[in-house]
Structure 1
Amino acid sequence: MISLDEFYEDFMQSVLSESDSRGLMKSQAFFENVCEELVSIGELTPNYTFAEYQKTCMEVEGYDYDEERNILSILTHKFFQEDEMQTLTKSIIDTKFKRLEGFYEKCLDELYINLEETSEAYSMAYNIYRYSIENKIDKIRFIILSDGALTNRFKSIQSKEINGIKIEYRIVDIDYIYKIQMSQYSGGGFKVNVNSPCLEIPTKSDEYEAYLTVMCGDDLVNIYGEYGQRLLEQNVRTFLQFKGSVNKGIKNTIQYKSDMFFAYNNGITATATSIERDENGNIILINDFQIVNGGQTTSAIYAAKKTSKLDVSNVSVPMKLSVVKDKEKQNEFVSKVSEYANTQNKVNKSDFFSNSPFHKQMKEYSQRVWAPVCDGSQKRTRWFYERVRGEYLNEQAYLTKAKKDKYQMEYPKKQLIDKTFLAKSENAWLQKPHIVCKGAQYSFANFANDITSKLDKDNLCITESYFKDAISRIIMFRTVEKIISSSVWYDGGYRSQTVAYTIAYLSYSIEKAGKFLNFNEIWENQTLPQELIDILSYIAREVYIQINKPQSGHANVSQWAKKEQCWEEMKKLNLSISLPKKLLLNKQDEKYNKKEDRRIKKIDDNIQVQSTVIQMNMSIWIELNSYYMEHVKEYKLSMAQRDILKKMSMGVITLPSEKQSKILYDLYIRAKEDGVDIND
């Protein structure tokens, strides 16, 4: 594992790289970077907003509102941006918290009235005032973000309560950020205190221990109120409100037959890395608690008490708890349990996107495809596809200084592909700017649906050309960010919305003309042609003017930009756009290119499958042959499948053909997906 000092150095490089490549202020790049980390563990919602505001005795960088739990988070930062890690002192902390409190108090005194209506600070101050007068705040969290390390002398600030609202003080320093990223690999989590009777279930598996237990409705409400989405972070779906028949049934049971909840509800499926039991055998502590099935049940019970004011003290929730013996395998174990346990409501394949072949194919291209050499440089580089946050840094953890320098030369920090950023750039080009404006995680979920549908229809759709075009769209997205930030007409605020709508409008205009953008021009130069920059600058200016004129009844620009109606209005701009021929392709060219891409990919895939099968150990084929023979009625294999598998297990086939390799590989994958423990 890398040290904190190594992490700090890389983290600062990430911030500087983000700032440079996207045209952000360093402080904003820092703010967004840290907030995305907090979103990834459920500490913030995807709807957090950067909205800088500083006046005498007031200082704030942004806010977040959790609608389900009525939690308002107001954030500021202490960004040292030094070469060496600094100390976050008690005096700095005290000053920052006082300024956050001062801002909140002014918001309650209608601060928004004195602010410019088109500014993000106005929306922030107005929303905080509105949440307050509508009694939609149950808890307020004042949060300080910092690249410094919290002083050892600082202990804590006690929570307090004002007018029935709980006030919490949080500090997210560099050590906290470090632990978040390291937990992606160590399976780190949190502990929950319970008092639940349990029955241990005998199991022959050396992977986990099994328990049947029950949780009280009030306990579940308290745990969810404390941890929120962190409790469900590895679950395949989130709460669907009381709209589906299942969720309505949960509410009705709580309201009218709470004592029958145990009998009527399927309960929850959960995992942990360890538990503690008292002398009576009751579970009193659960480590790394994760609800992998029953997230809707949990959220529904919470909403029933907090929103509908129903009594849940008589609600008993059955729980199946699996305790993973090998902590390093927790993520893989949870993923499999999630996939097989979630049957209560219909689950889309995109809900399991983390296991999608899309990631594997994007990773393979990022490891194989070299970016063109540009600007006179003699050093060839690649783009790094990061499926899990922190993966780029983790791969360098045990490299020597010389090898790390070589690695970073091959994979420069500025060429890191974050999957949520990729989703934003793709959705913008797919003419979904309103989706992009709903936040990185929401945009990513939408993108997952699109890609999953495409892969279902065509498993050859993620080609090398797609990879290059996707990189080109990332380059475009970052360029538009910089264009807007440096433009004389830009007065500040709503830059992210302007970027999304600018790219969507360009895509719309080209599609309307029956053409396709030649992304190869961007890929080959790793930058946008000046003609395209000029056109995007023109579109961005008009979009910025338009987006700051929301329709009547939509005074909040941020909320207006999230609506499809905003996009429909934007398409009426009727801007005059003319791109040079070298940047455009006609339908025939595009169709030919895609056909050729699919042909090449099919050849590559067949070669890869054949190579994989040839390199697999003979014992695997012996195990598979034995397994399929034992389940012959269940699988109903064809004569050809059985014959090829049998001959492969006997060593008769030493060099399988492409067709034979495809049959063998499909049988191997089918068994793995069915949970067969193959010793490979």
Structure 2
Amino acid sequence: MITLQEFHQDFLQSVLSDADSRGLMKPQAFFENICEELVRTGDLTNNYTAAEYIKTGIEVHGYDFDEERKILSVLVHQFFQEDDITTLTKTQINTKINRLKSFLRKCTQGLYRDMEETSDAYSMAYNIYRYKINNEINKFRLVILTDGKATRNLIEIPTEVLEEVHTEFRVIDIEYIYKIYLSEQNNNQLEVEIDLPCLEIKTTSDEYQSYLTVVSGNQLVDIYEQYGQKLFEQNVRTFLQFKGGVNKGIRNTIEYKPEMFFAYNNGITATASDVELDGAGHITKITNFQIVNGGQTTSAIYAAKKNSKLDVFNVSVQMKLSVVKDKDKQNDFVSKISEYANTQNKVNKSDFFSNSPFHKEMKNYSKRNWVSTVGGSQRRTHWFYERVRGEYLNEQAYLSKAEKTKFQLEHPKQQLLDKTFLSKSENAWLQKPEIVSRGAQYSFSAFADYITNWLEKDNLAITESYFKDAVARVILFRSVEKLVSQANWYDNGFRAQTVAYTVSYLSSLIEKTGQFLNFNLIWEEQKLPTNLIDPINIISKAIYDEITDPPEGSANVAQWCKKTSCWETIKQLELGVVIDSKLLMDKDEKKYINKEDKKDKKLDSGIELQIIVVNIDREVWHNLFLYYKKYESTSSISFTQLDILEKMAKGYLTPPSEKQSKILYQLFQKASDEGAIA
């Protein structure tokens, strides 16, 4: 088990590595790292924005607005960056809170009028002022972020009323982030205390136990008020607001026929790892409570009460609650429930991206491909693809000191390939800078769409060359970040937008030549070619000047950069930049590489499928044959397929050919998807 001290060291190294490889100030890297953790857990939304503003008596480093719950969070950090965990004192906490209070008061009085319009801080102050005068804020949340540790009695700070708004205070310290890590390794111990009458559904399955119950509207509002997006970590949806017909119907039912809600609404499907019942057969506690279908219903009821001020006392919601007994199968079980239950509105296949073969293939290539020795080093290394947050650290949990040292040398921290960051670099090269500018999670969702569609058209798309090129694009993105940060014209604002638009412009510029950037040059050297640096400096300066002078009527720079029209404007810039032909490859060369790559992958895939099929127990094949034989008339299985399956079940194929293995594996997957096998 990783200790708090070890986790702190790993987290600190992540921050320092980010700062070095991306040209960030260390406090900036700390702020981004900790905020991304909080977005994943639902403590912050995708709207969070870094924006530093420090004056006498004022200190703030960013803000976040939860549009649904109407919670405005202002964020300040205390980054100690010490090897040992430092204590955050009561005096430091009080000082930070008072500075945040002062900032909020001044924002509501129109502080933005005295600020430079091209700064991140101006956008922050202006938006806070706008939210307040439009009465869009139900709660202020003042948050201190720190890599230190606050004693428990200092974290509980009484709530107040500030500028006529209910205000609460939070300290997010290293121990809080550590507990997130631990909970993820133990399937998120989220416990809900509740009193629900229930009917236990008898089942012969040893995988789960189900209950039918009814949740009142007020109970659902209280649960969502406390836990927010944490309830939906495994839900394939996000709340769609009152735009779709389903949600309009929910709102109308609540307002005009609340007593009919139970009859009209499909209710909620939820999972848990455990429940506690009292003597009367009521559920009193739900552990690891997750709403996997019914996110719209939950959010709509909450919005109806909080935003529309509707009475939800008479609203009753049916809930099917499945308790997954086998913790190792929980994620797969939940995924299938999500997929089968989510049929009310269209759900994109990319919403199930966590189960995409993309991740497995990227992981395999990251393990197989060594990075060339560079900079005089004799040690070869790997890029570590982290499919699940915390995987890099978790793989070291039970290693000896010598083994851990070896692991870290072979997988240096700066070569951690984070899937969220990967989505930013890929989207930028795909010429979607406005998507990148909307935030990391939004960018990841768009990337999932792209990959899912690509794999549907070409199941051999993720090749070894793609992996190497993707790593090269990460290196390119980081290098541009560093160049912008170090530029003498850079004024510490809108760096993220400048970088995304610079990479997209470079991609567009090369595309117009009819050629392709030779990413292998970056992969081999693990750095940007020197003859690409000057063009990037010219492009980034021009883009910074352009985006920080938005057209009349645009709210601010940040909002302008999120619009497709911004990219259309940037794309038309004529900068006179010429890319060295030595960095490019022509269409025929690119086509040849892709063709050879797919040929190699077909061979690898065929061998891998044979191994998988041979390692499946013969009893499983026997049961599969009986299943398909029973439903032969309705299962769309051909005589040839059934014959191959029967021979495999009887042990006549030793081993099956690549073609037979492919057929057998497809039948196995189909039966698995239909729930015929565990």
Q: Tell me the TM-score normalized by structure 1.
A: 0.97
20-29 or 585-594: bigger deviation: 585-594
Partner Cα separation in structure 2 for residue 384 and residue 150 of structure 1: 33
- SS of corresponding position for 2:420: helix
Q: Which amino acid aligns with 2:353?
A: F
531-540 or 180-189: bigger deviation: 180-189
* Deviation (angstroms), 1:7: 0.7
Aligned residue runs from structure 1 range 275-294, under 5 A:
275-294=275-294
Contact 1:142 1:169 in 2 (8 A): yes
* Deviation (angstroms), 1:164: 5.0
Tell me the residue number matched to 1:379. Answer: 379
Tell me the residue number matched to 1:250. Answer: 250
Aligned residue runs from structure 1 range 352-371, under 5 A:
352-371=352-371
Contact 2:372 2:524 in 1 (8 A): yes
* Deviation (angstroms), 1:325: 2.4
* Deviation (angstroms), 1:155: 5.5
User: Which runs of 5 or more structure 2 residues have no equivalent in the other structure?
Assistant: none
Aligned residue runs from structure 1 range 588-599, under 5 A:
588-599=588-599
* Deviation (angstroms), 1:652: 1.3
- SS of corresponding position for 1:527: coil
Q: Which amino acid aligns with 2:307?
A: T
Tell me the residue number matched to 1:558. Answer: 558
386-395 or 576-585: bigger deviation: 576-585
Contact 1:186 1:328 in 2 (8 A): no
Partner Cα separation in structure 2 for residue 397 and residue 591 of structure 1: 43
* Deviation (angstroms), 1:328: 4.5
334-343 or 381-390: bigger deviation: 334-343
* Deviation (angstroms), 1:152: 4.8
Tell me the residue number matched to 2:549. Answer: 549
Contact 2:213 2:320 in 1 (8 A): yes
- Please state if 1:517 is matched with 2:520: no
* Deviation (angstroms), 1:611: 2.1
Contact 2:239 2:299 in 1 (8 A): yes
- Please state if 1:272 is matched with 2:272: yes
Contact 1:184 1:388 in 2 (8 A): no
Tell me the residue number matched to 1:205. Answer: 205
Aligned residue runs from structure 1 range 408-557, under 5 A:
408-557=408-557
Partner Cα separation in structure 2 for residue 516 and residue 182 of structure 1: 44
Q: Which amino acid aligns with 1:93?
A: I
Q: Which amino acid aligns with 2:232?
A: L
- Please state if 1:43 is matched with 2:53: no
Q: Which amino acid aligns with 1:227?
A: Y
Tell me the residue number matched to 1:214. Answer: 214
Partner Cα separation in structure 2 for residue 275 and residue 70 of structure 1: 31
Residue deviations 1:2-51, cap 9 Å, x none?
11111111111101000000000100100100000000011101121111
Tell me the residue number matched to 1:319. Answer: 319
Q: Which amino acid aligns with 2:597?
A: D
- Please state if 1:125 is matched with 2:125: yes
Residue deviations 1:363-390, cap 9 Å, x none?
1111111112222221111111101110
Contact 2:609 2:662 in 1 (8 A): yes
Partner Cα separation in structure 2 for residue 110 and residue 214 of structure 1: 47
Partner Cα separation in structure 1 for residue 657 and residue 383 of structure 2: 34
* Deviation (angstroms), 1:617: 2.8
- Shift of the 350–307 alpha-carbon distance from structure 1 to 2, 3 Å rule, reads same
Tell me the residue number matched to 1:239. Answer: 239
Contact 1:191 1:288 in 2 (8 A): yes
Contact 2:155 2:170 in 1 (8 A): no
Residue deviations 1:290-320, cap 9 Å, x none?
1000111111112222223322221111110
* Deviation (angstroms), 1:162: 4.1
Contact 1:497 1:561 in 2 (8 A): yes
Contact 1:271 1:291 in 2 (8 A): yes
Partner Cα separation in structure 2 for residue 211 and residue 393 of structure 1: 37
- SS of corresponding position for 1:443: helix
Partner Cα separation in structure 1 for residue 311 and residue 29 of structure 2: 45
Q: Which amino acid aligns with 1:496?
A: A
Partner Cα separation in structure 1 for residue 144 and residue 329 of structure 2: 34
Tell me the residue number matched to 1:629. Answer: 629
* Deviation (angstroms), 1:435: 0.2
626-635 or 95-104: bigger deviation: 626-635
Tell me the residue number matched to 1:660. Answer: 660
Tell me the residue number matched to 1:92. Answer: 92
Contact 1:275 1:286 in 2 (8 A): yes
Partner Cα separation in structure 2 for residue 36 and residue 468 of structure 1: 25
Contact 1:187 1:328 in 2 (8 A): no
Q: Which amino acid aligns with 1:131?
A: Y
Partner Cα separation in structure 1 for residue 373 and residue 85 of structure 2: 35
* Deviation (angstroms), 1:602: 1.3
Contact 2:45 2:66 in 1 (8 A): yes
Residue deviations 1:557-582, cap 9 Å, x none?
11111111111111121111211222
* Deviation (angstroms), 1:139: 0.8
Partner Cα separation in structure 2 for residue 41 and residue 152 of structure 1: 21
Tell me the residue number matched to 2:296. Answer: 296
* Deviation (angstroms), 1:161: 3.2
29-38 or 185-194: bigger deviation: 185-194
Contact 1:182 1:390 in 2 (8 A): no
Q: Which amino acid aligns with 2:332?
A: E
Residue deviations 1:107-159, cap 9 Å, x none?
12221111111111111111111111111110111111111112255351112
Q: Which amino acid aligns with 1:184?
A: E
Partner Cα separation in structure 2 for residue 181 and residue 340 of structure 1: 29
* Deviation (angstroms), 1:593: 2.0
214-223 or 391-400: bigger deviation: 214-223
Residue deviations 1:334-357, cap 9 Å, x none?
222111211111111101000001
* Deviation (angstroms), 1:545: 0.5
Partner Cα separation in structure 1 for residue 25 and residue 550 of structure 2: 27
* Deviation (angstroms), 1:672: 1.7
RMSD between aligned residues: 1.4
* Deviation (angstroms), 1:333: 2.4
Q: Which amino acid aligns with 1:589?
A: E
617-626 or 568-577: bigger deviation: 617-626
Contact 2:272 2:321 in 1 (8 A): yes
Tell me the residue number matched to 2:137. Answer: 137
* Aligned residue pair count: 678
Partner Cα separation in structure 1 for residue 124 and residue 324 of structure 2: 43
Residue deviations 1:455-483, cap 9 Å, x none?
11110111111101100000000000000
Q: Which amino acid aligns with 2:595?
A: K
Contact 1:23 1:481 in 2 (8 A): yes
- SS of corresponding position for 1:87: coil
Tell me the residue number matched to 2:109. Answer: 109
User: Which runs of 5 or more structure 1 residues have no equivalent in the other structure?
Assistant: none
Partner Cα separation in structure 1 for residue 326 and residue 642 of structure 2: 36
Q: Which amino acid aligns with 2:339?
A: E
Tell me the residue number matched to 2:22. Answer: 22
- SS of corresponding position for 1:634: coil
Q: Which amino acid aligns with 2:76?
A: T
Partner Cα separation in structure 1 for residue 652 and residue 285 of structure 2: 55
- Please state if 1:567 is matched with 2:567: yes
* Runs of 4+ more than 4 Å apart: none
Residue deviations 1:76-99, cap 9 Å, x none?
111110111111122211111111
Q: Which amino acid aligns with 2:489?
A: W
Contact 2:554 2:560 in 1 (8 A): yes
Partner Cα separation in structure 1 for residue 155 and residue 481 of structure 2: 41
* Deviation (angstroms), 1:163: 5.7
* Deviation (angstroms), 1:437: 0.4
Q: Which amino acid aligns with 2:17?
A: S
Residue deviations 1:227-277, cap 9 Å, x none?
221111110011112222222221222222211111111101011122233
- SS of corresponding position for 2:330: helix
* Deviation (angstroms), 1:538: 0.9
Tell me the residue number matched to 1:345. Answer: 345
Contact 1:44 1:64 in 2 (8 A): yes
452-461 or 591-600: bigger deviation: 591-600
